Chain A
Amino acid sequence: MIDRRMQHVPRLGHYPSRWRLQGTPVVTVMLGSMLTALPLIAQSPILPPLGLLLLLSWRLLRPELWRAWIGVPLGLFDDLMSGQPLGSAMFLWTVTLIGIDLIEQRLLWRDYWQDWLIAALAIIVCVTGGLFFARITGGGSIGWMLVVPQMGWTILLFPFVARQCAWIDRWRVMA
């Protein structure tokens, strides 16, 4: 039995709307950032930064989708949601995206494992950077060990999120 979703055939001459093509990734990343709106009063940084994960997934799945500046507005929105000092994700996400651009120019071939490695590096940079910014903006002495578990399961969660992104992407491009 063929998966029923695969039977959907895009009609010739029909294109998805611009809003759907451009807006879907942005909306998913913003929804990921809004994960902190869940009614969960955490005692330690437990939730993975889902906005960042989705950003990385989209970026690695569709390199042509965004320029690096997309990290500025999306990062600002994430800062507004996450409780980090404003400008923290704005800086870190943009720098990460520029870094991925640089890596991409050097790598000739890239597959699943390289994507995961790039994402893992990006997650480590962003979480550690976020910790550093939280520390210098009045956070006091927050230990690095505090965010290691969060970093760990964020990295482990990346393949799953990338898969979901690919699933949304199929819907996105099929009108």
Chain B
Amino acid sequence: MARPSSRRPGYNRKAQYGLFASYVVAMSGAAIGLLMVIVAIFDPTGFAAIRSGTAEITRPLSAGLKSMVSGVGTIDERIAAYWRAGSQNVALRRQVEADRNRIIEATAIAQENIRLKKLLKLVDEDGSEVVAARLISSSASSARRFARLNAGRSQGAMPGMPVRAPEGLVGRIFTAGPNSADVLLLTDTNNIVPVRRANDNIPAISTGGGDGSVEVRALSAGQNPFKPGDLVVTSGIGGVYQPNIPVAVIVRTQGEIAWGVPLANPAKVEAVVVERPFEQAVSRPASDTALSSEPAPAGVAAQSPPAP
């Protein structure tokens, strides 16, 4: 194809000015874009209102499609399950036999736990759940890891609230619109979660790797205490996430860094639960009861019980 001639308006003054004006508009538009990015450096959630507006428009579409294709993320697993189905079946039967005893033991321990907690008058009222909803879409073409939640401010989901699935932690709410919210996934490079090893309380920090893995760094100096197979759970430090939510399993260590795979795969979980930030969940019921039972002095009402 030969060079198009339309870009060279020749001697037509009006066309020349038109072309010039179009470049001026384009340049200033690009400059405005750059300016918006610079604003976002200092205030990443600054334009949340505009974005949640469009999220509201695409929400019905995504939610409808999601209900149609639910389970499509597990197709590979289903196919893989047919491979060596026989030997797998035997192994699973043995596993079930072994687990049954453990479940009985665990129920006994749970009952004992309730009894002991009652003795300690530390009633663990789990009023932290705000809303259960589904993840309907995600930023699949961007380097950031956001997922869109089918619930927003009107359902009680506010920015900063932790999001979890039965399998483990999913992330926390980044921005919230009226009926949809953006969840910063655990695997985003900006999502930092204080964790600890489940069997001994070695504290660590989990940062997303951006590629579906998390990077776990122990807070203690010296050699890396983690080894493949270790389970890390949230420690509750920082007051956002409840303690003991499963986060990841360590699969590989490399120097001071341990790489983990999140236990809750957002592509596979059916529904997620939005919870109150841990700090609020702990301090709120106490101040509520204090206010309702008697008009206590402000100083007493403000005091919250220490976090366990």
A binding-site residues for B, Cβ under 8 Å: 34-50, 63-64, 67-69, 71-72, 75-77, 80-92, 94-95, 97-98, 101, 104-105, 107-111, 130-131, 133-143, 146-147, 150
> Once bound together, how far apart are the Cα atoms of A63 and B2, in whole Å?
11
List, in ascending order, chain A residues with CB within 8 A of B185's CB.
Answer: 43
Of chain A, the residue at the smallest CB distance from B24 is A69
> Is chain A's binding surface mostly helix, strand, loop or mixed?
helix
List, in ascending order, chain B residues with CB within 8 A of A67's CB.
Answer: 19, 22-23, 25-26
Contact present for A95 and B30 (CB under 8 Å)? yes
B binding-site residues for A, Cβ under 8 Å: 1-4, 6-7, 19, 22-23, 25-27, 29-37, 39-41, 44, 47, 50-51, 54, 58, 61-63, 65-66, 69, 73, 135-147, 182, 185, 187-190, 207-208, 210-212, 265-267
Of chain B, the residue at the smallest CB distance from A37 is B58
Contact present for B187 and A43 (CB under 8 Å)? yes
Contact A84:B142 (CB < 8 A) given known A37-B62, A64-B6, A69-B22: yes
> Is chain B's binding surface mostly helix, strand, loop or mixed?
mixed
List, in ascending order, chain A residues with CB within 8 A of B65's CB.
Answer: 37-39
CB distance from B40 to the nearest CB of A (A): 4
Contact A63:B140 (CB < 8 A) given known A75-B33, A138-B44: no
List, in ascending order, chain A residues with CB within 8 A of B6's CB.
Answer: 63-64
Contact present for A83 and B136 (CB under 8 Å)? no
Of chain A, the residue at the smallest CB distance from B31 is A91
Of chain A, the residue at the smallest CB distance from B55 is A80
Instruction: Choose among B30, B39, B147 the residue that contacts A72 (Cβ–Cβ < 8 A).
Output: B30
> Once bound together, how far apart are the Cα atoms of A101 and B23, in whole Å?
10
Which 6 residue pairs spanning A and B have beta carbons closest together? A83-B139, A87-B36, A72-B29, A90-B33, A43-B212, A91-B33
Contact present for B33 and A40 (CB under 8 Å)? no
List, in ascending order, chain B residues with CB within 8 A of A91's CB.
Answer: 30-31, 33-34, 37
24 A/B residue pairs, CB under 8 Å, sorted by A: A36-B139, A38-B62, A45-B141, A68-B23, A72-B33, A76-B33, A83-B138, A83-B139, A83-B144, A85-B36, A85-B40, A87-B39, A87-B40, A91-B37, A94-B30, A105-B3, A134-B143, A136-B37, A137-B40, A138-B41, A139-B144, A146-B143, A146-B210, A150-B141
Contact present for B32 and A90 (CB under 8 Å)? yes
Contact present for B3 and A110 (CB under 8 Å)? yes
> Once bound together, how far apart are the Cα atoms of A92 and B141, in whole Å?
15
> Once bound together, how far apart are the Cα atoms of A109 and B46, in whole Å?
45
Contact present for A68 and B26 (CB under 8 Å)? yes
List, in ascending order, chain B residues with CB within 8 A of A34's CB.
Answer: 58
